[in-house]
Structure 1
Amino acid sequence: MDNECRLQEEDLLKRIDGVKRVHKVLVGIGEEWSIGRRPDIMAAYEALGKLLNGKDYFIVTMNTDGKIFESSLDHSRIVAPCGNVHWFQCEKACTKDIWEEGEVQDGVCPHCGAPLISNTIKAEAYIEEGYLPQWTAYTKWLSGTLNRDLTVLELGVGFQLPGVIRWPFEKTVFFNKKAHMYRVHETFYQISEELRDKAEGIRSDSVEFIEKSPTIW
């Protein structure tokens, strides 16, 4: 049977003592945090920043809206493997070059003259070089958490691309004997039997959950 938390939300918030006492925190951010769903998302990012203040953390986000990079969170501790609408690539992928917004004024590739498009997974030929340096930093950080106390906080991650956050996070928690995960999602909060004693499934809107957290913690 899935390990589903059925306590009141306030009680659940109080139970997440691990985020307060553990130094290392891995955070996954999913579609519930998309600007398309939550135009007021910046308040939630600032609340998350307060929760992570003083922690050794890393954030993996599936969102491509770039809003997380407008927050006070440390950009060197964030990786966006699905891309960013504010990064640009050649539509024809003639080069691995990535440009930031405003770098190329006429919006055409300096190499071949093709239009520049957003460097996201929606591109027909997605150029991954935009996020790979940060992915390397993330994997290095993650390797340093093995057999260390680790809190894994999965926020609003569904099944759009489970191979990016959901399944890898489960694997991390399974193999790290000192890890504990909190999966917060309005619909997909369930925990597998293998992680029954190492994870909490919290049925809640993850954005609202984090926005409430500073007032309780």
Structure 2
Amino acid sequence: MAEKIRNETAADEELKTLRERLKACEFLLIGLGSEWEKAGGAEVQEAYRALASMTEGKDYFIVTTAKDARIFESSLDEAKITAPCGNVNWLQCSKGCTKDIWERGEVADGICPHCGAPLTENTVLANPYIEEGYLKSWNLYREWLAGTLNHALLILELGVDFKTPTVIRWPFEKTVFFNRKSHMYRINQKFYQIVGDIQERTVSIPQNSVGFIRNFASCD
């Protein structure tokens, strides 16, 4: 059965076990969801610093659905991050006339140089959404993930909800199912439940993932 951590004593024990698994793993996969987008500035900055510490010396990749771009302002390696839901610091043509993506401020007047339409943030909220902004990093992630099969893979699913389950939540479950050497922590204040055939290699922690990671670092 998947283990659900209900009290502080059990949580402290799980922090210790997580630390041991982090040290022993060959690969580290991290998924960041809505809890990281909702967190306050100072709080999430501290949590990103904690993640940077956790990933030090590790072969890792991070998938984030957060669109706020704060992860790219952290010390985490941008080459090991993919943001398939977009990034508010990237801009696209609001009419989708081109696949071109611009950094914020790159086009001074905020007008598409191809058709004259206003530029808009290159996120899933755009209609149409130009996906070229993240596809290169996504392909690198898929290639990296394929190389983790049958290796000791630690998965941290942090604060992921059901708005885009096909990006992190369901694929992570599939990865755990096929990689018998993997172990996953699902940390989420509300959506911590785990079902199906992966329960023996998963830990469910009903806590806010941002606070949990900050606490993990403070206990180091």
TM-score by length of 1: 0.96
Indicate the residue corresponding to 2:111 in structure 1.
108
- Aligned to 1:63, the other structure's residue is in SS state coil
- Aligned to 2:137, the other structure's residue is in SS state helix
Indicate the residue corresponding to 1:15 in structure 2.
17
**Deviation (angstroms), 1:23:** 2.7
- Aligned to 2:161, the other structure's residue is in SS state coil
**Deviation (angstroms), 1:190:** 1.2
Cα distance between partner residues in 2 of 1:161 and 1:215:
31
**Deviation (angstroms), 1:15:** 1.7
Summarize deviations over 1:110-168 as a string: whole Å, max 9, x none: 00000000000000100000000000100000000011110000000111111110000
CA contact (8 A) 2:192 2:205 kept: yes
- Aligned to 1:154, the other structure's residue is in SS state strand
Amino acid at match of 2:5: C
- Aligned to 1:174, the other structure's residue is in SS state helix
Indicate the residue corresponding to 2:60 in structure 1.
57
Indicate the residue corresponding to 1:87 in structure 2.
90
**Deviation (angstroms), 1:7:** 4.6
CA contact (8 A) 2:2 2:201 kept: no
- Aligned to 2:90, the other structure's residue is in SS state strand
**Deviation (angstroms), 1:101:** 1.1
Summarize deviations over 1:163-187 as a string: whole Å, max 9, x none: 1100000000100010000000011
CA contact (8 A) 1:32 1:156 kept: yes
TM-score by length of 2: 0.95
Amino acid at match of 2:14: L
Q: Which of 190, 212, 216 is equivalent to 1:213? A: 216
CA contact (8 A) 1:14 1:216 kept: no
Indicate the residue corresponding to 2:40 in structure 1.
38
Cα distance between partner residues in 1 of 2:174 and 2:41:
32
Unaligned runs of 5+ in 1: none
Aligned length: 216
- Aligned to 2:197, the other structure's residue is in SS state helix
Cα distance between partner residues in 2 of 1:31 and 1:24:
24
Indicate the residue corresponding to 2:152 in structure 1.
149
- Aligned to 1:42, the other structure's residue is in SS state helix
Cα distance between partner residues in 1 of 2:203 and 2:196:
11
Percent identity over the alignment? 53
Summarize deviations over 1:31-64 as a string: whole Å, max 9, x none: 0001x44222111100110011100000000000
Indicate the residue corresponding to 1:164 in structure 2.
167
